[in-house]
Amino acid sequence: MPTATGTAADASAVELDRALERLRRFGGDALLRDMIDLFLEHAPKRIAASRDALAANDLAPVRLAVHSLVSSCAQLGAEQMRRLSAEAEQAVATNPDALAGLLEALEREFAIVQPLLVSARPHAGPAS
């Protein structure tokens, strides 16, 4: 019987596979590799910036950081991260007390998505 985490990881893998294949068809391995690299570099920085801004009770940077995650998560098929980012963006205006929990959930989901993206990342071919 799958665990809740296993089920979430399985669902995330299916969504990622579909989106990554779309990106590969659109722009080839180079585009896919670049998109994955950018996401893996910037997503944890945006989550950390959100947490830091929230700790300083400065909600504008939280909104900007999670807003940028919404579209980048969607591009790569990280649907649960996209949903959590969108909820956090909405919570900035409607329920700031929910932000800490949403950011924690976003970090947990990134921990699921990160290894999936690393394993899906195409390797660079030999230089021509």
What pLDDT is stored for residue 3 in this prediction? 40
Say how many residues make up the chain: 128
Name the pLDDT band for 1 (thresholds 50, 70, 90). Answer: very low
Cα 51 from Cα 32, distance rounded (Å): 28
Ramachandran region, residue 28 (left: φ > 0; alpha: ψ -120 to 50; beta: rest): left
Each residue's pLDDT tens digit, 111-125: 999 999 999 999 876
Task: Tell me the one-letter amino acid at 70.
Answer: V
Boundaries of every domain in the chain = 11-120
Residue 85 has pLDDT above 90, yes or no: yes
Each residue's pLDDT tens digit, 27-43: 899 999 999 999 999 99
Nearest to 76 by CA among 107, 117, 109: 117
Nearest to 50 by CA among 79, 81, 11, 74: 81
| 99 phi and psi angles, rounded to 5 deg | -65, -45
Mean pLDDT of the region 81-106: 97
Classify 11-120 by CATH class. Answer: mainly alpha
Residue 4 has pLDDT above 80, yes or no: no
